[in-house]
Amino acid sequence: MIIISSNFVRVKCTNCGNESTIFLRASTVIHCSVCEEILAQPAGGKARLVGCSILEVLDSA
């Protein structure tokens, strides 16, 4: 399990390769802006990343 202390991450869609910045505590489903693949789903706390891979954890400072 990866522990991330930031609230935002830059991710890459596994379907089309589009890069997006998403909020880790999302309360709604996050879709890719290009292909509409589901990138993250709410999970009661931190969102569950399903259709993407993390490229960079953005500093919260």
- Rounded to 5°, the CA angle 20-34-9 comes to 10
The count of other CB atoms within 10 Å of the CB of residue 26 is 16
Run of H or E residues at 17: none
Contact of 27 with 13, CB cutoff 8 Å? no
Q: Which fold has domain 8-57?
A: N-terminal domain of TfIIb (2.20.25)
- Domain edges within the chain: 8-57
Partners of 56 in the β-ladder: 10
Q: What is the pLDDT of residue 30?
A: 95
What pLDDT digit, counting tens, does each position of 7-51 carry? 899 999 999 999 999 999 989 999 999 999 999 999 988 899 999
Tell me the helix, strand and coil percentages in the chain, rounded to 5: 0, 40, 60
